[in-house]
Amino acid sequence: MKKVLYLIVCLVVIQSKLYAAFAVFEHYQYLTPVSGYAGTNFVVCGSALKDFRVYYQYCSLTPGCAPANLCLTNGNYRFKVTLYRNGVSVASHTFQASGSWTYDYFNGITVTPGTYNVGVVFQKSNLLCSWVDVSTTTSNSLVVTTLPAAPVISISGNSNPCNTSGTTFTVNGNTSGTGTYTWTSSNPTFRINGVSFPLTTTSNSAVINATVIGSTSTISVTLNGVTTPYCGAFNVPTKPIQSISTSISMYGPDCIPPHTSGTMITTPAGSSGYTWQSSSDNINWSPNFPQTSSTINILFQAPGTYYTRVQRNWHGCISNWAYQTTFCTTSSDQCRTMSSNGVAGVQEYEISVYPNPSYNDFTIENPGFASNFSLVVYDLLGKVVEKISDISSFDSKVLFGSQLQKGIYTVVLMNESERATKRVVKQ
């Protein structure tokens, strides 16, 4: 009798060691070249949808060692499986199976940082067909962490440097302290750190300048080789740049009858930033006109010599003052009998010049001079930039200006007794 009891005790002890239930908890990961389930910790960008799998087995070594069900109408076992995050239930379900082991899945779970595991309750039925707990097992844990969000990258700097002066652009937001910066320009005439684009630097700052006054470009930066992992990609925006010219010029009527409006035009044109002033003695400039655009109309009410000037402040770039002198005469006829100095005696003609403005050369149609004449072109500083001598009075057309640079010029046709003046614009 003692031997039988001893044998029963030994069998119970042995079976208690064999009936060691366990659960293995895994997540599905997409890898190259092979994807599959793994019981490793992982990271998410804030949150992610994940598929989980748990493998549960009641008898670790001996198949078919589960305790017998006593319910004659239901020979299955039951599993209650619960997914936890930081000890709080996330999802749970219950199902029956004929064996003491199972694979179970939780698919499409929204995962945020935390510790995840699975609890499995294995149950059998008693004589009353009620469920009785056989084993409660907790799986291994998977720790989910998150990467920092990719920082917001921006480019700062003065987008409107004056003329060809340099401006410093700085890429802000790369807190990793690693990586290189590749700078590109949509306009190849711009320079970076004194050399041509593109350029790769280890510094997040670079000095950019135009070589052509008034030109524009878009600067782009690519950030490469950042070693600190971030959620999402770096998005480095572009930044425009425009060289602001501080050189302006203007033109308007040289001679005008009284009670007539004359149009003053500034180059380059714009809708704001212009300051206009006028004077009848070239000393005491009147208060500013209310208009701030590049073109204004001025009413000349009484005969005399009038002076108009304009200056522009555009993005902090202050231009020179440009000037125009207008003679207001007592009649329309007197404009045709005055020289540019307002002295009567030289026959002053009106001539037609086209196209005006012009991208190439200019044409004077039927100058109408009685004798041979000369053509002289002056820039705004009074310098002779083109001259054609001894033009026949019989010529019906005169061409000039094909070699002129962009700007405003005064064209003078003259001989001893005749004179014609015209303002032209080369674009």
Q: Residue 368 sits in a domain of what CATH number?
A: 2.60.40.1930
How far is the C-alpha of 368 from the C-alpha of 395, rounded, in Å? Answer: 9
Is 289 part of any domain? yes
User: How far does Cα 120 stand from its chain's mean position?
Assistant: 54
Structure tokens at 127: 């004589």
- Which of 199, 219, 242 corresponds to the end of one domain? 242
CATH of the domain at 289: 2.60.40.10
Domain count, the chain: 4
Going across the sheet that includes 199-201, the strands are 199-201, 180-185, 216-224, 239-242
Is 7 part of any domain? no
Q: What pLDDT does 335 receive?
A: 60
Residues 330 and 272 in one domain: yes
Q: What pLDDT does 15 receive?
A: 38
Q: What pLDDT does 235 receive?
A: 78
Q: What pLDDT does 336 receive?
A: 52
- Span of 72-76, 236-240, 330-334 with lowest mean pLDDT: 330-334
Residues 129 and 163 in one domain: no
Strands 260-267 and 249-251: antiparallel
Is 405 part of any domain? yes
Residues 284 and 167 in one domain: no
Region 10-20: what's the mean pLDDT?
Answer: 41
How far is the C-alpha of 131 from the C-alpha of 241, rounded, in Å? Answer: 76
Is 275 part of any domain? yes
Q: What pLDDT does 139 receive?
A: 94
Residues 31 and 52 in one domain: yes
Strands 101-111 and 260-267: unpaired
Q: What pLDDT does 346 receive?
A: 53
Q: What pLDDT does 192 receive?
A: 96
* Sequence-ordered list of residues with C-beta below 8 angstroms from that of 337, at least 6 positions apart, any chain: 344, 345, 346, 347, 348
Residues 196 and 285 in one domain: no
335 phi-psi bin (left φ>0, alpha ψ -120 to 50, beta other): alpha
Is 118 part of any domain? yes
Give yes or no for residue 281 having a pLDDT over 70: no
* Sequence-ordered list of residues with C-beta below 8 angstroms from that of 382, at least 6 positions apart, any chain: none
- Which of 146, 174, 209 corresponds to the end of one domain? 146
Of all residues in the chain, the percent with pLDDT exceeding 90 is 40
CATH of the domain at 33: 2.60.40.2550
Residue with tokens 């005969």: 303
How far is the C-alpha of 56 from the C-alpha of 318, rounded, in Å? Answer: 80
- Give the pLDDT confidence of 364-391 residue by residue, as tens digits: 887 878 888 899 898 877 788 999 988 8
Is 199 part of any domain? yes
- Give the pLDDT confidence of 64-97 residue by residue, as tens digits: 677 888 888 888 899 999 999 999 999 999 999 8
Residues 236 and 261 in one domain: no
Residues 236 and 260 in one domain: no
> Residue 19: pLDDT band by 50, 70, 90 thresholds?
low
C-alpha radius of gyration, the chain, whole number:
45
Give yes or no for residue 2 having a pLDDT over 80: no
Q: What pLDDT does 172 receive?
A: 93
> Residue 275: pLDDT band by 50, 70, 90 thresholds?
very high
Q: What pLDDT does 12 receive?
A: 35
What's the mean per-residue pLDDT of the chain? 84
User: How far does Cα 41 stand from its chain's mean position?
Assistant: 38
The better pLDDT of the pair 344, 349 is held by: 349
380-405 b/e with 16+ CB inside 10 Å = b? beeeeebeeeebeeeeeebebbeebe
CATH of the domain at 231: 2.60.40
- Which of 280, 311, 335 corresponds to the end of one domain? 335
Of all residues in the chain, the percent with pLDDT exceeding 70 is 88
Is 2 part of any domain? no
Residues 374 and 270 in one domain: no
Residues 129 and 32 in one domain: yes
Residues 125 and 113 in one domain: yes
> Residue 339: pLDDT band by 50, 70, 90 thresholds?
very low
Q: Which amino acid is at 263?
A: T
Is 14 part of any domain? no
- Give the pLDDT confidence of 31-70 residue by residue, as tens digits: 766 789 999 999 988 889 999 999 999 876 555 677 888 8
Residues 24 and 117 in one domain: yes
Q: What pLDDT does 10 receive?
A: 36
pTM: 0.56
Number of H helices and number of E strands within the chain? 2, 35
168: domain range?
Answer: 156-242
Give yes or no for residue 271 having a pLDDT over 80: yes
Q: What pLDDT does 274 receive?
A: 94
Give yes or no for residue 106 having a pLDDT over 50: yes
Residues 40 and 113 in one domain: yes
Region 215-244: what's the mean pLDDT?
Answer: 87
Q: What pLDDT does 30 receive?
A: 81
C-beta neighbour count of 299 within 10 angstroms: 10
88-118 b/e with 16+ CB inside 10 Å = b? eebeeeeeeeeebbbebebeebebeebebbb
